[in-house]
């Protein structure tokens, strides 16, 4: 399975999964259809699946048009999103499994950004290879999604699930927010040397307009404040020693940043 990233709208990423042997493809969160159709034409690949993480228009905007071109493509989304995702045929819950080509993903229910949000985690094909996490707007590189339909209790639970995945997992999040996220992270975790060097790297990457996605989960665990509610430095930065409250205060500060 080859994964390519397609920039869309102002700061979204669409992910294309491609199996060259069978000439089939799947797409994660198609914000729009045109760039996906172009890429499929270049690859001469047939779209068999649309994996949606949640119902926001910048994640499902391309569903209808893609379905017009590939009528037999199956549309996957969270069970709680029933009625909100165009063309949805598969209603997924925590622990369900989905397949693409020779790979299998576990579905994680990760409410918080929305009440129905799910993530797809493709386990490594062989020992030593990376796992692939498609987490929509739940976990971002250096940050996390806003709480639009959920609360801090849910989001801490959701991010705990993602944090418990293996270090060797690539994080394919749906927006290029990394630089701004790390700017905020430095205000609450300024003594974190790895965070400082990550910020320098990301600044260089963005100055060339390149993508900072995917990131490694191992790096997120050490530098993303929204996975670090139990670290003393962050706890003292927000003057709270209770995990949900620490997270909620960090999220509130970021909302106003």
Asked whether 224 and 186 are in contact (CB, 8 A), the reply is no
Neighbours of 73 (CB within 10 A): 20
Nearer to Zn ion, 60 or 188 (CB): 60
Reply yes or no on whether 113 is catalytic. yes
Reply yes or no on whether 18 is catalytic. no
Reply yes or no on whether 56 is catalytic. yes
Reply yes or no on whether 58 is catalytic. yes
Using CB under 5 A as the criterion, which residues of the chain lie in contact with Fe ion when the complex forms? 58, 137
Among residues 137, 176, 189, 220, the one that binds Zn ion under rule CB under 5 A: 137
Nearer to Zn ion, 18 or 55 (CB): 55
* Binding status of residue 56 toward Zn ion by CB under 5 A: yes
Q: Which of 55, 59, 86, 117 is catalytic?
A: 59
Nearer to Fe ion, 19 or 30 (CB): 30
Reply yes or no on whether 55 is catalytic. no
- C-alpha distances (whole Å) from 87 to each of 56, 68, 224 are 14, 11, 35
Asked whether 36 and 55 are in contact (CB, 8 A), the reply is no
Give the Cα separation of 185 and 189 in Å (integer).
6
Among the residue ranges 10-18, 32-40, 130-138, 244-252, the one whose residues contact Zn ion (CB under 5 A): 130-138
Q: Which of 29, 81, 96, 137 is catalytic?
A: 137
Nearer to Zn ion, 19 or 137 (CB): 137
Q: How far is the CB of 59 from Fe ion (least distance, A)?
A: 6
Reply yes or no on whether 230 is catalytic. no
Q: What is the DSSP string of 156-182?
A: HHHHHHHHTS-SSEEEEESB--HHHHH
* Binding status of residue 176 toward Zn ion by CB under 5 A: no
Reply yes or no on whether 137 is catalytic. yes
Partnered with residue 26 across adjacent β-strands are 17, 49
Q: How far is the CB of 147 from Fe ion (least distance, A)?
A: 14
Binding site for Zn ion (CB under 5 A): 56, 137
């Amino acid at each position: 399975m080859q994964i390519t990233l397609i920039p869309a709208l102002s700061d979204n990423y669409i992910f294309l999964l491609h199996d060259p042997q069978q000439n089939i493809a799947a797409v994660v969160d198609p914000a729009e259809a045109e760039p996906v159709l172009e890429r499929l034409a270049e690859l001469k690949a047939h779209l068999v699946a649309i994996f949606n993480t949640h119902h926001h228009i910048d994640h499902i905007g391309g569903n209808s048009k893609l379905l017009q071109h590939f009528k037999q493509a199956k549309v996957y989304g969270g069970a709680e999103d029933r009625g909100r995702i165009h063309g949805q045929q598969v209603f997924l819950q925590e622990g369900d499994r989905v397949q693409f080509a020779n790979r299998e993903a576990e579905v994680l229910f990760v409410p918080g950004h929305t009440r129905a949000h799910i993530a797809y985690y493709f386990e490594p094909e062989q020992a030593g290879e990376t796992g692939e996490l498609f987490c929509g707007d739940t976990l971002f590189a250096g940050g996390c999604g806003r709480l639009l339909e959920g609360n801090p209790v849910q989001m801490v639970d959701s991010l705990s699930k993602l944090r418990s995945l293996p270090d060797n997992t690539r994080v394919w999040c749906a927006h290029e927010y990394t630089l701004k996220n790390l700017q905020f992270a430095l205000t609450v975790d300024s003594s974190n040397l790895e965070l400082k060097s990550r910020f320098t790297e990301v600044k260089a990457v963005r100055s060339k307009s390149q993508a900072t996605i995917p990131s490694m989960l191992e790096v997120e665990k050490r530098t993303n404040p929204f996975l670090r509610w139990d670290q003393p430095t962050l706890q003292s930065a927000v003057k709270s020693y209770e995990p949900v409250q620490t997270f909620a205060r960090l999220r509130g500060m970021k909302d106003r940043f």
